[in-house]
Amino acid sequence: MGTKKDLVIVGGGIIGLSTAYFALEKGWNVTVVERNAPHGDNCSQGNSGMIVPSHFVPLAAPGIMGQAIRWMRDPESPFSLKPSLSLDMLKWGLRFYLASTRAQVDQAAPILRDLNLASRDLYIRWSEAGIDSGLAKKGLLMLCKTDTMLHEEKELAQEARDLGIPAQVLDAKETAALDPNVTMSIAGSVYYPKDCHLDPSRLISSLLASIEAKGGKVLWNHHVTGWKKLGSSIVALETSHGEVTADEFVLCGGVWSDDLVKPLRLSIPMLAGKGYSLTLPTPIELPSVCSILCEARVAVTPMGDKLRFGGTMTIGKPDQVIAPEKIRGITKSAASYLPRFKAQHFDGIQPWVGLRPVTPDGLPYIGRTNNWKNLTVAAGHAMMGLSLGPITGQLTTQIVAGERTTVSVERLSPDRYAA
Ligand SMILES: Cc1cc2nc3c(=O)[nH]c(=O)nc-3n(C[C@H](O)[C@H](O)[C@H](O)COP(=O)(O)OP(=O)(O)OC[C@H]3O[C@@H](n4cnc5c(N)ncnc54)[C@H](O)[C@@H]3O)c2cc1C
């Protein structure tokens, strides 16, 4: 165990709480500063709950720009861009475009694989240690409606196997046999046995209870408004309830992280990837394996007796306005792949909205900053934050302790877009 530190974490989402958990394991004094009230919402609560070694391709990948333009003609489509005349957004778009290359995917894929597999192991360890999340190690099905999509997914499955991630191509009959609890109208699927699913809000409650039981503190309703500095060190957070001092600071502020570091003259470009979920309390059918409806980009996750449908990505500045056409897109897709589900099953279901913190190159920022001795950033996990929570928490505390990290973080530097 290293020297005892006072560690303050900004943000009580999955990334902040995972960091708190591992910091407490090191015996440090840990305080999480969160602007929400206890049990308040953030992106970590209503998401699809998937742990995804299958997701080794970042959002910025070849073909995404063309696909995005085609999708933008359809208001119900899974992807759209909400442009604004801001320099930040223009710069983000240019960086995203430049990152959408084969070479970038080839570099990112083994990193995402290593992070996701290591995080999966930590989730299993957490589950054995009594963190109650409803973790189910049952794999994930990529359900394809059309032969064209099945062909693309087959090629991706081959890439996965080349990276050491098991993947099996199944026809419609074999898929039905794998999950007989649900009726599907599909051409076939790819099965990723290493993927898992859980109930994110159950996870967050249990993780919080464990952090508090280990002596960690959470300062709820504390809005961080600035940083008190001395030379190249941070001495305190300025918050709506006064200053909070510490030796070390970790920023886990989700999509708000870039704005939070601007007064420190740092730049960690990030936009919001707005998405929605709809949870049926008593679904007409309850699959046992989680799945992704590939063409529609909708995730379907059983959570106890409930069934959650999550999807869409509207890239823009953070806002939580619900777009009814996107909700319609999700419910129509559900009925198209899973024909026992009808649009009226979703009547009266309140959509949940979440803001994914999306970086231009599809990799999170995990690391110390060059300019500030005692600031570490852990943010920007886009559509994989739940999956990558535990490994991010472990890596962040290893970085703060000055230890060798379990997975290399060289490519994840928060200074990679520094001016
Ligand atoms: C529809 C949908 C489905 C998804 N499905 C999956 C999935 O299946 N698997 C997966 O891995 N990921 C999924 N994700 C992505 C995942 O939810 C996010 O990547 C993850 O929750 C990000 O966690 P975070 O801790 O970085 O951010 P958040 O959960 O947003 O937490 C950040 C916290 O910082 C706090 N904060 C911000 N600013 C301040 C301030 N100034 N002062 C104090 N506190 C502040 C916020 O209040 C918030 O609580 C999904 C996302 C969506 C929208």
pLDDT tens, residue by residue, 293-338: 999 999 999 999 999 999 999 999 999 999 999 999 999 999 999 9
The residue whose CA has the least distance to atom 31 of ligand 1 is: 13
Percent of the chain scoring above 70 in pLDDT: 99
In this predicted model, what pLDDT tens digit does every residue of 333-362 receive, in sequence order? 999 999 999 999 999 999 999 999 999 999
Please name the helix (run of DSSP H) or strand (run of DSSP E) that holds residue 119, with its range, or none.
helix 102-128
Q: DSSP E strands: which ranges in 21-68? A: 29-33, 50-51
Dist. CA 381–CA 369, nearest whole Å: 17
3-state secondary structure of 412: helix
3-state secondary structure of 55: coil
Q: How many Å apart are CA 185 and CA 176, to the nearest integer?
A: 10
- AA identity, residue 377: V
**Which tokens go with 64?**
């995404």
Q: Which atom of ligand 1 is nearest to the CA of 378?
A: 26
Q: What is the mean pLDDT of residues 212-223?
A: 98
pLDDT by residue (tens digit) across 258-306? 999 999 999 999 999 999 999 999 999 999 999 999 999 999 999 999 9
Q: What mean pLDDT value characterizes the chain? A: 96
Domain range 54-85+134-196+271-358, CATH architecture: 2-Layer Sandwich (3.30)
CB 36 within 8 A of CB 20: no
CA of residue 282 to ligand 1 center, whole Å? 26
**C-alpha distances in angstroms, 380 versus 176, 202, 411, 412, 419?**
36, 23, 13, 10, 19
**Quick one: pLDDT band at residue 68, thresholds 50, 70, 90?**
confident
Return the domain boundaries, the chain: 54-85+134-196+271-358
Q: Say which amino acid occupies 10.
A: V
1 band by pLDDT with thresholds 50, 70 and 90? very low
Q: Which two tokens stand for residue 57?
A: 């391709």
| pLDDT per position as a tens digit, 380-419 | 999 999 999 999 999 999 999 999 999 999 999 999 999 7
For residue 340, report the distance from its CA to the centre of ligand 1, in Å.
Answer: 32
Residue among 388, 378, 319, 419 at smallest CA distance from 95: 419
Report the pLDDT value the prediction gives residue 45, as an integer from 0 to 100. Answer: 96
Q: Chain centroid to CA 47: how far?
A: 8
Q: How far is residue 19 CA from its own chain's centroid? A: 15
Say if residues 18 and 117 touch (Cβ distance below 8 Å): no
Average pLDDT of span 223-245: 98
Percent of the chain's residues with pLDDT above 90 = 91
Q: Which of 68-72, 364-368, 388-392, 401-405 has the lowest mean pLDDT?
A: 68-72
Token pair belonging to 238:
């300025």
* Ligand 1 geometric centre to CA of 123 (Å): 18
Mean per-residue pLDDT, 154-183: 98
Ligand 1 site, CB within 6 A: 10-16, 33-36, 42-44, 47-50, 223-224, 252-254, 256, 260, 275-277, 299, 310, 354, 356-357, 379, 381-387
| Residue 71 scores a pLDDT above 90 | no
